[in-house]
Homo-oligomer: A and B are copies of this chain.
Amino acid sequence: MTSIREAHGEPLAILAAGGNVPYQVASAATAAGRKVLVIGLEGEADARLKAFHYQTIKWGQLGRAEEMMSAHGARDVVLIGSVSRRPDFHTMGVDFGTLRLLPRILKAMVGGDDQVLGNLIGYLEERGFRVIGAHEVAPELVAGAGLLAGPRASQAMLDDARTAFAAARAIGERDIGQGAVAVNGLVVAVEAAEGTDAMLQRVGDLHAMGRVKWSGRAGVLAKCPKPQQDLRVDMPTIGPRTVTAVVKAGLAGIVIEAGRVMIAERAETLDAARDSGTFILAAADGDVRLKP
């Protein structure tokens, strides 16, 4: 864990894409007494970020972001936020910094997008910056072990949480995915390239078609990072939408790995869980139990 107070007087740079997590991170850093320089991605970054020292870049202006950070003496940088639109590499204005990185980005994209952020980190570190995880700045983005919200899980649900968690971890170890669903002792879905939402939709469909049978609400979604995942820039995330999708699929709850899965919009997420009677458990090191 990096203390965000270590750097005397240096501002923390926050490269901010979409969603409201960047605002949380900037607020947390400010509250901890650290100056921040927020560099927002145009068309994605939250307007509330203008409350901080704020500048913007467009897609492809990595060199410009570097210049901004250097001009402010920022060496620590957080890369955070979601991207709703893919950049159009044909029309975007690529500056020199991005151009230097582009061969690595293109190489990474051939084999899937997962390595793009890894390349960006490597590039920034070579150029003297230190990439910090958002959860190191705002520890409330992740959860300690225990029951975070919702009703107590039954013994069968706890068993499903364990089964789903073990499956998610096993496929993570093979670099396949971050999630799995178990219902009444059986793993009924495993997430690979389709993502969590599509997997939950599939579970709901299998249930509706009678291909997987249960009555009432049963079964658990598990999410945990791959062991090799760089949590500084790529942490599995749940949010209010995850709760909605879990309820729609007929599942009873969610288990995440404590300290290693981000809860975006924490208050809304936990409220949605309480309101819908969906438990959210955080398990330390795969140890799934109730510590309310």
**B193 and A212: CB pair below 8 A?**
yes
Interface residues of A (CB under 8 A from B): 109-112, 166-167, 170-171, 174-177, 180, 184-195, 198, 202, 206, 211-213
**B174 and A166: CB pair below 8 A?**
yes
**B193 and A174: CB pair below 8 A?**
no
Number of copies of this kind of chain in the complex: 2
Complex alpha-carbon distance, A195 and B206, angstroms: 10
Known: A189-B194, A190-B191. 6 other contacts (CB 8 A): A112-B186, A171-B171, A189-B193, A193-B211, A194-B206, A195-B211
**B184 and A193: CB pair below 8 A?**
no
Chain B residue at minimum C-beta to C-beta distance from A207: B193
Residues of B with C-beta under 8 A to A109: 213
Residues of B with C-beta under 8 A to A195: 211
Complex alpha-carbon distance, A42 and B212, angstroms: 26
Residues of B with C-beta under 8 A to A174: 166-167, 170, 187
Indicate whether A194 sits within 8 Å of B187 (C-beta atoms), given known contacts A112-B212, A174-B167, A174-B170.
no
Indicate whether A190 sits within 8 Å of B192 (C-beta atoms), given known contacts A112-B212, A171-B171, A174-B170.
yes
Residues of B with C-beta under 8 A to A192: 180, 187-190
**6 A–B contact pairs at CB < 8 A?**
A110-B184, A167-B174, A167-B176, A170-B174, A171-B171, A189-B193
Residues of B with C-beta under 8 A to A180: 192
